[in-house]
Structure formats: C-alpha cells, structure tokens
Structure 1
Amino acid sequence: MKNRKIKLLLFAFAAVAVAVLAVVGKIENENKTFLSVATASTGGTYYPMGVGLANVWSTRLKPDGIQVTGQSSAGSIENIDLLQKDEAQLAILQSLLAVEAYQGVGNFAGRAYGDLRSISMLWPNVEHFVMLESKVKDGTLNDIAGSRFSVGPQASGTEQSTLVILRGVNMSKKNISPEYLGYGDTVSAMRDGRLDGGALPAGVPAAAVTDMYASGVPSRILEVTDEQMASINAVANAWFRFVIAADTYPRQTKAVATIAQPNILVTTRGIDDKIVYDLTKAMFENLPEVHQVHSAAKNISLENALKGVSVPLHLGAYTYFREAGVNVPAELIPPEARADRATEAL
C-alpha cells in the first residue's frame, strides 16, 4: 500500500513538472518573434546571403527574443507574394521588381503593393550571361539570339530582369529556345550539352559560375557593350556598369564588362517599428560578422545603404539611419513619417 502511494505521488509530481515545462515553453515562445527572410534558389547569392544575415540577427538579437530563418524561393516575384501572405516578413528583391511592385507597374500592373518598405541596399546583382564557347560569335549579348537559353525559374526575378534586358537588345523569348532553370541546373544542362547558355545574376563570385568554370564547362561570361547598356536602361533605368575583374573565377583570365542592379532588403509596413529598427541596427553595427556571410556582403555599409533604393524606407530603418547620421532622400522618407510631420506642423 505504501509503495502504491509513493508511486502515485511520483506520478503526480511528474505530471506537474510536465505541465510546468509546457507552460514555460509556451511563455518562452510567446515572448519570441519568429521571422523568415525569403531569398531565391540555392545556387545564387540570395540564399546564402539571406541565411547568413538570419544567423547574425538570431545571434545578436537573441536577448530580445528575435529568431530569423532564411527560406529558398523562386526569387523576387514569389518573394513579394510571400510577403503579402505573411509567409515571409523579410525578403531580398531586385530593385527593378521592388519598384514595379510598389508602383503597380510592369509585372504588377494594376496591383500595387503600397505596404512594401525598404530596409537597405545589400549588394549589386551582377548580370552573368553565360554561353558555351561553341556558340560564341562576338562575345556580347548578341550571341543569345537563336540559342537554347535559360531565363531563370518561372516567376523569378531572374526571369523578369532577363526579359527586360532582352527587350533592350531587341530580343524576346521568340528569338531563343527558352528554358526555366535554377542556377545549378543551368550549369548542369550546359555541361551535358542540353543548353547553350543562361542568365545567372548574382553577387560576385556566384557559386554556380564558379562551378561552371571550375568543372571545365567550355564557356564564358558574355559582355554588355555601352550601346547595349544604354538601350536596356531606356526600357528600365535600373542598371549600371560593372566590371568582373580578371581571375574572379577559375580560368577567367580577362576582365568582363557587364552590368548590375542593386539587390535590396525589404519588409512590409505592418512589421513592428522596433523590430525593424533592431534588425537594421544589428546589421550595420556588426559589419565584421556580416561581411563574413558572403564575399558580396562586403558591399553592405552605411555609405552604400541607400544606393539604388527607390521604395520608401520602413519607419524602423528610417529611425536608425537618422540616428546614424545617414542623409535620407525625401523620396525614401516613409509615408508614415511624412504624416507624423504634417500632424506636428498643425
């Protein structure tokens, strides 16, 4: 009888302990903020950059209960959809598509996303148009015509920016045999002879392009002439000259004149101001760690923070930049801050 009572007491204590742990766990989860940053396919720069930044934020903001994870996606267009559905709270976007979404033009005609807000420019998205040597004629974008060419995954930022670039050089999908492959799959298909080339925009060095050269695929990065760049910017003024230095990639012995556009970190107006302030501050006040994320992350600095950004800042980021002494152009001041200023003036 005595043993039975002891067993019952032990069972009761165990049940209470489990209940207490469950309550504590629930309270801890309730005190945590879980955020996801949408990136792109794993072969480019978006994914390692997003995952790396998420790790920095999670480490540095752990005392504040903020935990961030990176998630792969089809790229910029899907990322905007993920933000709208609250399946991601942060995202990396091509500047071109961020502007289109905010203004409701181009790919987002008639469905402007007015709640989109910027946090910072991250790094230049360098256009790597790669082509098998056997298909190269003049070594520029002209060589894409008539080729089996991957324009990037469907609904990705790669696809959309590539189509704009093709339009700028008087081409469209009608002038090629289009494929819709991710970065790694593009290089694999070129290696197997199933594809002539593809668009691999990414920070330098791009993992897929390194793999292309290192694995002996007989190919090169095509150049973009000044005339081609001007024609492309006449369609959408988003690109600037970028030279990939010689020896950036294995066997790439000559510099390559191409073009680039900014990649930006964005969020939505509905995310708490203090959270975005903390994320922005943690990124810029831990730059040695941030720069270790990827070689392209070395572009992240207060001096570069607003270069190429065309969508208004989130109020949390705006507050941090003002405290840090960054000159914020009028067009990047959050509408919410303008409203507050107007109220104060009354």
Structure 2
Amino acid sequence: MNASYAARLTFATATSLLLASSVLAQEQFAIGASSSGSGPYINGAAISEVVNNAQDGYKFSVQTTGGYRDNLGLVLSDQVDFAFNTLIDLEFAYNKRGDFAEVSNNEAFKDLRQLFIFGIVPENFFVRADSDIHSLEDIKGHAININTPSSFTYGLNLELLKAAGLSSDDFKAGTVSTGQVFDEIQNGVFDGGLHVFQLGLANAQQLSATVPMRYVGFDQKVIDKLNEAYHGLLVPFEIPAETYKGQSEPVQTFGLAQVIFTDADADEEMIYEFTKAFWENLEALKESNSSFRGLTVEIGSRQNTVPMHPGAVRYFEEIGAL
C-alpha cells in the first residue's frame, strides 16, 4: 500500500466516523400519526421532512398508530414523543369530558400539552349525483357510510344526526373506514358518506373523476346545535368551488382543528426547535400538501384549556403571536 493511498484511506475512514457520530448525535423523536397511507400519516411525513431539513439537532420521523384515540395513550406512556389529534379529543381528554370521564386513571390526561394547531379538516357529505339527496334530511332510506364505530368521525356523525333530528335507524348506516368508502360508493354499495378528510384528498378527487358526485352543505342551525355538544370547538369551513369535479359551487360545512400535542415532560429545547422549524417553513408545507392551506400563525397559536408546552410558548412569544 503506497503512502498516498494510505493517507486517502485514513481520511475516508475518519470522515465516515465523523458522519456516523453526527447521525448518532442527532436525537431521534417519533410523531404518532395514524394508519399508513392515511391523511395524518401523509401529513406527518411532510412535516418530518420539512423540519428535518430545517435544522440539524434533532431527527423526527412519522410513526403508524391505531389512530387519534390511541395517540393519547402512546404519548402519555412515552411510546411516541408527540402525536396528532383533533383539538376536540385533546380538550375532552384533558377536561375528562364525554367518554374520557369514564376512563380509568384519567388523571394522567392532565399531563397533556399542546404545541399548536396545524390544520383544519372539514366534514364532507358527498353523495352520488344520481341520488335524490340534496340535504342531510334526504338520507332517509339510503345507504350512507358513517365510518367505523371506533373512530372519532363515527361519534361525530351520530351527534350530527342528533342535531338534525335524525338517527342511524333512519337510513342504512355503513361502518367502513374512510380508506374503503370511495371504492364502495363507486361499486354502488353506498349512495354516499359522511367523512372527515383533508381538502382535495386524492381518493375523493379520483372518485368524482369516475363517478358523478355531489357535495352537500349543512344548515347553519344544525351546525350551531352540533357545536353546543362540542363546547364551541368546531370551526366554520367552506369547501371552495371546483375542489372536486362537478362541484361548481362552494359548500358550507364545518371543520375540526388538528393539533400536535405532547406531554408535560417533553424536552423544552426540542419542542422549541420543532415549532420554529415548522412555522418558518410553512410555505414549503403548503406547496407539498393541501392540508396546510389557509393555516396562519394566528390559528396555530390559538390557546385553549389544554396548556401549551413551554417550548412552543417560547417560540410564539418570540414572534409576538402570544
């Protein structure tokens, strides 16, 4: 081995060791989302990529989970570092409302801390255009999917029906997941569905491109009555015209605030860097994913009854949002 080759080999080895130690020095953190391929999982992948590219101190990765309800326990048991949920579920858990009042050891929910709201996802009422359904009251006698009984959306839909003076006995209630409903409608199993999903979801666009569909709005009185059951945590939402093929008019509905949360013991510096990287790169997120459209720091920094983690507070105070 000549001296020149030996020197190059020594340099290459030293460089590899430095790179390896740099990777090992990066602390690894998991973001609990939902099932693989779901909207939350896609959002988590986009957020992880943008935040990882924006800073060098921490490495973030999205993790599949059983869904938003499971995410509460995963965070509190330190199986993930932070996770996604609806603001409604986070608030209800923290305040031990609804189903959470009956959960054993629900005092642990007081350790929940929010980082920020990262998006608003609408309730979508979509039906085949060849049906005679033009309002929620018209679903009587039809086959309409309302999601799986274990999902947040299923409970939301039952409350929505109640607010409209209806029940699941008034129609043929389907109980398949959002991922399945589009194929089922295309195959004629259902006349439509009531589902929460992000604006412009690819599966929804594909369905409306192959089967003429109608998106139906809700009466404001029904939304207001529904919001009473959710302590005013629902937000107004308009699905812009032409979001889906054949949808020529805007549709008035309501949305669910989506929140990133952690627990009280999460490292303040890590949370600060994550929050900063997210908000300083919001435009890149908007370009990559329609879920972030319309998001502003004013929406994101909105405080609720769940305390905001000190790391997030620090960032929002720095930029004058709090």
Point out the structure with max Rg over C-alpha: 1
Separation (CA, whole Å) in 2 of partners of 1:74 and 1:256: 31
Task: Find out whether 1:38 has 2:69 as its counterpart.
Answer: no
Gaps of 5+ in 2: 1-12
- Find the counterpart in structure 1 of residue 10 from structure 2: none
Check the 8 A contact 1:168/1:233 in 2, yes or no.
no
- Find the counterpart in structure 1 of residue 3 from structure 2: none
Task: Find out whether 1:120 has 2:112 as its counterpart.
Answer: no
How far residue 309 of structure 1 moved from its aligned partner, in angstroms, is 4.5
One-letter amino acid of the structure 2 residue matched with residue 182 of structure 1: S
Secondary structure at the counterpart of residue 198 of structure 1: strand
One-letter amino acid of the structure 1 residue matched with residue 47 of structure 2: L
- Find the counterpart in structure 2 of residue 97 from structure 1: 89
- Find the counterpart in structure 1 of residue 241 from structure 2: 246
Q: In the alignment, which of 297, 302, 326 is matched to residue 297 of structure 2? A: 302
Q: 1:181 to 1:36 in 2, by over 3 A?
A: farther
Range moving further from structure 2, 34-43 or 284-293: 34-43
- Find the counterpart in structure 2 of residue 109 from structure 1: 101
- Find the counterpart in structure 1 of residue 265 from structure 2: 270
Cα deviation code 1:296-318 (max 9, x no counterpart): 31333322213474421111101
TM-score in terms of structure 1 length = 0.79
Q: 1:241 to 1:185 in 2, by over 3 A?
A: same
- Computed over aligned residues only, the root mean square deviation of the Cα atoms, in angstroms, reads 2.9
Separation (CA, whole Å) in 2 of partners of 1:56 and 1:88: 19
Separation (CA, whole Å) in 2 of partners of 1:302 and 1:223: 28
How far residue 89 of structure 1 moved from its aligned partner, in angstroms, is 1.8
Check the 8 A contact 2:142/2:171 in 1, yes or no.
yes
Separation (CA, whole Å) in 2 of partners of 1:84 and 1:153: 25
Q: How does 1:186-201 map to 2 (within 5 A)?
A: 186-201=181-196
Task: Find out whether 1:161 has 2:156 as its counterpart.
Answer: yes
Check the 8 A contact 2:86/2:257 in 1, yes or no.
yes
Cα deviation code 1:116-175 (max 9, x no counterpart): 1111111211110222234433x2222344433322234333223223322322334444
- Find the counterpart in structure 2 of residue 257 from structure 1: 252
- Find the counterpart in structure 2 of residue 228 from structure 1: 222
How far residue 223 of structure 1 moved from its aligned partner, in angstroms, is 1.2
How far residue 253 of structure 1 moved from its aligned partner, in angstroms, is 1.3
- Find the counterpart in structure 2 of residue 71 from structure 1: 63
Cα deviation code 1:221-254 (max 9, x no counterpart): 2210111112211222222332212111122112
- Find the counterpart in structure 2 of residue 9 from structure 1: none
Secondary structure at the counterpart of residue 304 of structure 1: helix
TM-score in terms of structure 2 length = 0.84
Separation (CA, whole Å) in 1 of partners of 2:248 and 2:151: 31
Q: 1:304 to 1:234 in 2, by over 3 A?
A: closer
Separation (CA, whole Å) in 2 of partners of 1:127 and 1:246: 16
Q: 1:28 to 1:167 in 2, by over 3 A?
A: farther
Task: Find out whether 1:180 has 2:172 as its counterpart.
Answer: no
- Find the counterpart in structure 2 of residue 334 from structure 1: none
Check the 8 A contact 2:51/2:278 in 1, yes or no.
yes
Runs ≥4 in structure 1, deviation > 6 angstroms? Answer: 21-24
Aligned pair count reads 307
